[in-house]
Amino acid sequence: MKTRTTETSHLIYARLAGFLCLLTVPLSVFTFLYVPSSLIVSGDAATTASNIMASESLFRPGLVSDLLAPLVLILVVLVLYK
Protein backbone atom coordinates (compact mmCIF):
# COMPACT_ATOMS: atom_id res chain seq x y z
CA MET A 1 0.00 0.00 0.00
CA LYS A 2 1.30 3.45 -0.93
CA THR A 3 1.18 6.32 1.47
CA ARG A 4 0.36 9.50 -0.32
CA THR A 5 1.36 12.78 1.22
CA THR A 6 -0.34 15.88 0.05
CA GLU A 7 1.94 18.83 -0.38
CA THR A 8 0.88 22.21 -1.64
CA SER A 9 2.30 23.00 -5.03
CA HIS A 10 4.74 25.85 -5.48
CA LEU A 11 2.45 27.13 -8.22
CA ILE A 12 -0.30 27.70 -5.66
CA TYR A 13 2.04 29.76 -3.48
CA ALA A 14 3.21 31.76 -6.50
CA ARG A 15 -0.35 32.52 -7.57
CA LEU A 16 -1.30 33.54 -4.04
CA ALA A 17 1.72 35.84 -3.82
CA GLY A 18 0.82 37.36 -7.19
CA PHE A 19 -2.77 37.91 -6.13
CA LEU A 20 -1.66 39.57 -2.91
CA CYS A 21 0.74 41.82 -4.85
CA LEU A 22 -2.10 42.84 -7.14
CA LEU A 23 -4.27 43.51 -4.10
CA THR A 24 -1.79 46.08 -2.82
CA VAL A 25 -2.12 48.18 -5.99
CA PRO A 26 -5.70 49.45 -5.45
CA LEU A 27 -5.09 49.82 -1.73
CA SER A 28 -2.00 51.94 -2.33
CA VAL A 29 -3.60 54.03 -5.06
CA PHE A 30 -6.56 54.75 -2.82
CA THR A 31 -4.32 55.54 0.15
CA PHE A 32 -1.63 57.63 -1.51
CA LEU A 33 -3.43 59.29 -4.41
CA TYR A 34 -7.18 59.57 -3.93
CA VAL A 35 -7.56 60.28 -0.21
CA PRO A 36 -4.85 62.97 0.10
CA SER A 37 -6.00 64.77 -3.04
CA SER A 38 -9.53 64.89 -1.65
CA LEU A 39 -8.74 65.88 1.91
CA ILE A 40 -5.41 67.69 2.15
CA VAL A 41 -5.08 71.37 1.28
CA SER A 42 -1.43 72.33 1.01
CA GLY A 43 -0.43 75.09 3.41
CA ASP A 44 -3.80 75.30 5.16
CA ALA A 45 -4.09 73.05 8.19
CA ALA A 46 -7.48 74.43 9.25
CA THR A 47 -9.08 73.61 5.90
CA THR A 48 -7.49 70.17 5.92
CA ALA A 49 -8.91 69.52 9.39
CA SER A 50 -12.36 70.70 8.34
CA ASN A 51 -12.20 68.50 5.23
CA ILE A 52 -11.37 65.49 7.40
CA MET A 53 -14.19 66.30 9.81
CA ALA A 54 -16.63 66.81 6.94
CA SER A 55 -15.80 63.54 5.19
CA GLU A 56 -15.05 60.95 7.83
CA SER A 57 -16.53 58.36 5.48
CA LEU A 58 -13.50 58.89 3.22
CA PHE A 59 -10.92 59.39 5.96
CA ARG A 60 -11.64 56.14 7.83
CA PRO A 61 -11.31 53.81 4.81
CA GLY A 62 -8.15 55.71 3.94
CA LEU A 63 -6.71 54.82 7.32
CA VAL A 64 -7.80 51.20 6.98
CA SER A 65 -6.24 50.86 3.53
CA ASP A 66 -3.11 52.57 4.83
CA LEU A 67 -2.83 49.82 7.45
CA LEU A 68 -3.84 46.95 5.16
CA ALA A 69 -1.35 47.58 2.35
CA PRO A 70 1.77 46.88 4.49
CA LEU A 71 0.08 43.88 6.11
CA VAL A 72 -0.68 42.41 2.70
CA LEU A 73 2.94 42.97 1.69
CA ILE A 74 4.07 41.12 4.81
CA LEU A 75 1.81 38.27 3.75
CA VAL A 76 3.48 38.35 0.32
CA VAL A 77 6.88 37.97 1.95
CA LEU A 78 5.65 35.07 4.10
CA VAL A 79 4.07 33.28 1.14
CA LEU A 80 7.19 33.74 -0.97
CA TYR A 81 9.31 32.44 1.89
CA LYS A 82 7.19 29.32 2.14
User: For the purposes of burial, counting CB atoms within 10 Å of the CB of 28, is it exposed (0-12), middle (13-18) or buried (19 or more)?
Assistant: middle
How many other CB atoms sit within 10 Å of the CB of residue 43? Answer: 7
Phi, psi dihedrals of residue 44, rounded to the nearest 5°:
-135, 90
User: For the purposes of burial, counting CB atoms within 10 Å of the CB of 35, is it exposed (0-12), middle (13-18) or buried (19 or more)?
Assistant: buried
Distance separating alpha carbons of residues 51 and 58, to the nearest angstrom: 10
Q: What pTM, to 2 d.p., does this model score?
A: 0.73
For the chain, the domains span: 10-81
Q: Could you read off the pLDDT tens digit of each residue along the chain, which spans 82 residues?
A: 666 666 778 888 899 999 999 999 999 999 889 988 888 888 989 999 999 999 999 999 999 999 999 999 999 999 999 8
